[in-house]
């Protein structure tokens, strides 16, 4: 083996860039196929569960499954920030499902994965309930009886940093 390194034949990295772009496209396509397959598998499991229920199975299906490590989807406060961003940008109040679908679209996750969207909708609903308790968001029923959410507007804000709204003597 030689101790010297050969100089590149070209001064640019065109071949390397081209190869890396091809590899990136290949990995992206592999990831897309894996997400599609995972969504198919989850939908198939739900179909099998429905058939088991139809056939009279009454056991706990979750207890039959091997314990899995909890998947952390959002970092601390990340879901709350995403929810508030969606509510602020919305032109009208939104349902929990609409907020969840918007977050899925922004995050690049697979919107066809019904279980993921359903789980995220539950998480969004729980976070919105907490935001309502903290007076950051408000809820109302729409004409169909669905709960819709909007950001809570502050009515009595101080006029400046020095004015806290209290009467002075």
Q: How does pLDDT run along the chain (169 residues), one tens digit per residue?
A: 556 766 666 678 888 889 999 999 999 999 899 989 988 998 998 899 899 999 998 888 877 777 666 666 777 888 899 999 999 998 889 999 999 999 988 887 777 788 888 889 999 999 999 999 888 898 988 888 888 999 887 543 344 444 444 444 3
- Residues forming beta bridges with residue 22, ordered by sequence position: none
Query: What's the structural domain count of the chain?
Result: 2
Whether residue 118 lies inside any domain: the answer is yes
Backbone φ, ψ for residue 165 (5° rounding)? 90, -5
For residues 95 and 91, give the distance between their C-alpha atoms in angstroms, rounded to a whole number: 13
Same domain, yes or no: 130 and 85: yes
Per-residue pLDDT at 121 = 92
Per-residue pLDDT at 3 = 63
Whether residue 162 lies inside any domain: the answer is no
The answer to whether 79 and 124 have CB atoms below 8 angstroms apart is yes
Residue 24, token pair as written in the block = 């990136």
Per-residue pLDDT at 146 = 87
Same domain, yes or no: 78 and 148: yes
Length of the chain, in residues:
169
Per-residue pLDDT at 70 = 65
Whether residue 127 lies inside any domain: the answer is yes
The answer to whether 93 and 142 have CB atoms below 8 angstroms apart is yes
The answer to whether 89 and 99 have CB atoms below 8 angstroms apart is no
Whether residue 48 lies inside any domain: the answer is yes
Same domain, yes or no: 25 and 92: no
Same domain, yes or no: 39 and 80: no
3-state SS, 147-166, equals: EEEEECCCCCCCCCCCCCCC
Same domain, yes or no: 20 and 49: yes
Q: How many CB atoms lie within 10 A of CB 80?
A: 18
Question: Which residue range is the domain that position 125 belongs to?
Answer: 74-154
Same domain, yes or no: 39 and 91: no
CATH code, domain carrying 79: 1.10.10.10
The answer to whether 46 and 115 have CB atoms below 8 angstroms apart is yes
Q: What is the pTM of this model?
A: 0.51
Whether residue 164 lies inside any domain: the answer is no
Per-residue pLDDT at 164 = 44
Half-sphere exposure of 121 (CA within 13 A, CB side): 15
Helices (H), 55-151: 61-64, 78-89, 96-107, 114-133
Same domain, yes or no: 44 and 92: no
Per-residue pLDDT at 68 = 67
Would you give the end-to-end CA distance of the chain in angstroms?
A: 90
Per-residue pLDDT at 25 = 93
Residue 23, token pair as written in the block = 């590899």
Whether residue 5 lies inside any domain: the answer is no
């Amino acid at each position: 083996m030689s101790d010297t390194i050969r100089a590149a034949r070209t001064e640019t990295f065109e071949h390397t860039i081209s190869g890396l772009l091809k590899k990136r496209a290949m990995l992206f396509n592999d990831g897309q196929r894996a997400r599609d397959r995972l969504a198919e598998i989850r939908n198939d499991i739900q179909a099998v569960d429905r058939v088991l229920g139809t056939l009279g199975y009454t056991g706990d299906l979750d207890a039959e499954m091997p314990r899995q490590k909890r998947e952390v989807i959002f970092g601390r406060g990340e879901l709350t920030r995403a929810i508030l961003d969606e509510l602020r940008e919305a032109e009208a109040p939104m349902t929990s499902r609409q907020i969840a679908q918007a977050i899925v679209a922004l995050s690049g996750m697979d919107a066809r994965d019904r279980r993921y969207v359903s789980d995220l909708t539950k998480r969004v609903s729980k976070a919105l309930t907490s935001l309502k308790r903290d007076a950051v968001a408000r809820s109302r029923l729409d004409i169909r009886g669905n709960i819709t959410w909007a950001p809570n507007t502050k009515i009595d804000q101080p006029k400046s940093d020095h004015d806290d709204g209290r009467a002075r003597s």
